[in-house]
Chains A and B, each alone.
Chain A
Amino acid sequence: DVKVTQSSRYLVKRTGEKVFLECVQDMDHENMFWYRQDPGLGLRLIYFSYDVKMKEKGDIPEGYSVSREKKERFSLILESASTNQTSMYLCASSLYYEKLFFGSGTQLSVL
């Protein structure tokens, strides 16, 4: 069965820390996405990648970077975490820019 795995379900970090959120998919999908989800704001795209080492900015890339060294893994990096980055982070993958497969999400709290 299709699977997108996010490394942590819950994460608590301090302001200023460098934070890595990992996402792995086992479907050989070309496209991978990072969203953040906040109450009342829905899902907002941070970055997406359509191939290894390729990335595109989404709607809210500020304060984030990404890495895709292997096809199955897409990492989201918070260079210096801030309290306004407290959120639910969702990773997703897709084959033909149609159906998205989501991970279970990482609830990040920055204190």
Chain B
Amino acid sequence: SQQGEEDPQALSIQEGENATMNCSYKTSINNLQWYRQNSGRGLVHLILIRSNEREKHSGRLRVTLDTSKKSSSLLITASRAADTASYFCATDGTGNQFYFGTGTSLTVIP
């Protein structure tokens, strides 16, 4: 399977702290994306980073990509209770498919 893996599976932090989650994948990619899913809902696209980029920012989100290690990290700064959700990384693989990891469940305690 080309599916990625997020780490940790679950993360619990206090409001205002930073949250970091990691993604490892197996094959070469053109881009890697991060998505967020609120409980029982569809996924929402957060950010895309291309294979020739090392770091990207969007608001309170910072994504890094290390293609030599086949890994990425998502940092959410100054977390809020509303950031409580599951976060998934997705990579583009062969055959124009997207491969999702199993997700990190983030709980931000007010």
Contacts and interface: CB of A to CB of B under 8 A. Distances in A.
The CB with the most chain A CB atoms within 10 A, among B33, B44, B95, is that of B95
Interface in A30-54: 31, 33, 35, 40-45, 48, 50
Interface of B: 1, 3, 31, 33, 35, 40-45, 48, 88, 90, 92, 95-103
Contacts of B90: 100
Interface of A: 4, 31, 33, 35, 40-45, 48, 50, 56, 58-59, 88, 90, 92, 97-105, 107
- Majority SS of interface residues in chain A? strand
A43 B101 CA distance: 7
B43 A48 contact: no
Given A42-B3, A90-B43, A98 B96 contact: no
Given A42-B3, A42-B102, A99-B48, A105 B97 contact: no
A102 B43 contact: yes
Given A42-B100, A99-B45, 6 more contacts: A41-B102, A42-B101, A98-B33, A99-B48, A100-B33, A102-B43
B41 A104 contact: yes
Contact of B95 (A43, A56, A103): A56
The CB with the most chain A CB atoms within 10 A, among B3, B31, B88, is that of B3
